[in-house]
Chain A
């Protein structure tokens, strides 16, 4: 069977504008959540988020590019640039047709929708910029990546709410393993921190007004984040032949559907995705040392996720570590699984387990080792990354240390 390895990674998120800064922040347990700086924030009841700060698009993109790139596309291109540079790959001829891009985003160009609705509804104008549609479409980021790096194979975007990135990366893995491609650029991006983006979430009354405290008894909801992470997935033989640095191996993926409720999670659906990923990876439950949790900090997710892990792992659930890095970078919705994969790779490569910060009080319904507040060192050979979306769509990836 063809094996799949990761040979490049890049990111921009509230913890940093690149991978080393982000990983250093995770090691230190830094919190990227703060007061939101956006238009009409005084009309929001939720006023915190994990925003990308110190960001100047004009310094990175020219006027024509900015006219076409929504913030989520900008984030994607920044992260993709780092990942492709890291991998050392370029694509021409036959190799270009054997390479593609699949990216997750839940909302796509949310800022573009927001700004242009203001134009027509609030300002009453009857004309919008000609590039509104190509700027806001969910596949804009994937398409710009394909154009920038000449990727001519399978390319598309995946929208499964909070599981978008994991679904995207799982499909990239399967495309390479199945033989359709040799290289896939994959991950995800989200830029939903606009007035409309936050207002919509406020309505559901699941957001915290004061912080993200996954698994802690005093948790009171999720906090939105923004940014992107992008990876280069490559067929193992292809990477080995060119002497590429291998960051980790992707060994398994499973996706399931709860077929139950549009917002409430299901222990069975989540559990089937976790055990499915183990089976696909041919791993035993005891092989897993670390799980990057979905861990949103809502009452419902965290207890259901812990129950699912306890069900699948039995006694071993007490021996493994499970942390939610959303406590630091916020919930990047469709981009979240991609940023969280960075923590998985750090665990495998550097033996550093990113903590769950903001942890105040144990919750008997989340009685697992959630790596509270401080990073830990541990030798880790296999990990899982969980994502459980609204709509009951679950996607779990399994990774091992580089072969």
Chain B
């Protein structure tokens, strides 16, 4: 399950960044990948749709959000947590 969540998120981010999934390594930040604020909001939407979850994220205060977007690995971990909570 965890593997597929990670793969699916990397696919979403790669599509947003117009990169190959192999270029989206877990340590990268969205900024490294050239994803801007609109790209971020669009990625979160795609993640919500893909996993049927609600992601708590307000673009005005990203640092205060429970949803950690500091790297690809952080996003994967946050989504895994939300999937576990919301599909429990």
> Contact between B41 and A204 (Cβ–Cβ < 8 Å)?
yes
B60 touches A263 (CB 8 A): no
B51-69 vs A, CB cutoff 8 Å, 1 = contact: the mask equals: 0001001111100100000
CB within 8 A of B44: which of A205, A207, A219? A205
Chain A hits for B37, CB < 8 A = 263-264
A206 in complex: contacting residue of B44, B45, B54, B59, CB < 8 Å: B59
Complex interface residues of chain B between 34 and 56 (CB less than 8 A to chain A)? 37-38, 41, 44-45, 54
Contact with B along A258-301 (1 / 0, CB 8 A): 00001110000000000000000000000000000000001110
Indicate if the CB atoms of A203 and B45 lie closer than 8 Å. yes
Total number of A residues with any Cβ neighbor in B under 8 Å: 17
User: What are the residues of chain B within 8 A of A262 when measuring CB–CB?
Assistant: 38
B50 to chain A, nearest CB (A): 16
Count of chain B residues with a beta carbon within 8 Å of a chain A beta carbon: 12
0/1 per residue, A71-90, Cβ < 8 Å to B?
00000000000000000000
Distance of A219 Cα from B59 Cα, bound (Å):
11
Residues of A with C-beta under 8 A to B58: 205-209, 220-221
Q: Which residues of B contact A298 (CB under 8 A)?
A: 59-60
Known: A220-B58, A221-B60. Is A205-B41 also a contact (CB below 8 A)? yes
Give Cα distance in the complex from A203 to B61, angstroms: 15
From residue A349, how far is it (CB to closest CB) to chain B in Å?
35
Residues from 11 to 34 in B contacting A, C-beta threshold 8 Å:
none
**B36 nearest CB across to chain A (Å):** 8
Compute how far the CA of A298 lies from the CA of B61 in the bound complex, rounded to whole angstroms. 9
What residue in chain A is nearest B64 (Cβ atoms)? A220
Known: A263-B38, A264-B37. A208 touches B60 (CB 8 A): yes
Given the known interface contacts A203-B45, A205-B44, the answer about A219 and B60 at a Cβ–Cβ threshold of 8 Å is yes
In the complex, chain A residues whose CB is within 8 Å of the CB of B64? 220
A210 to B2 CA separation, bound complex (whole angstroms): 35
Please determine whether A204 and B59 come into contact, CB atoms closer than 8 angstroms.
Answer: yes
Q: Nearest Cβ in chain A — how far from B82, in angstroms? A: 15
* A-side contacts of B57, CB under 8 Å: 205
Q: Which residues on A sit within 8 Å (CB–CB) of B44?
A: 205
Q: Complex formed: what's the CA distance from A220 to B57 in Å?
A: 11
A-side contacts of B38, CB under 8 Å? 262-263
7 tightest CB-CB pairs across the interface, nearest first? A299-B60, A221-B60, A205-B59, A220-B60, A220-B61, A206-B59, A205-B41
**Interchain Cβ contacts under 8 Å between A and B, 15 examples:** A45-B54, A204-B59, A205-B44, A206-B59, A206-B60, A207-B58, A208-B58, A219-B60, A220-B58, A220-B60, A220-B64, A264-B37, A298-B59, A298-B60, A299-B60
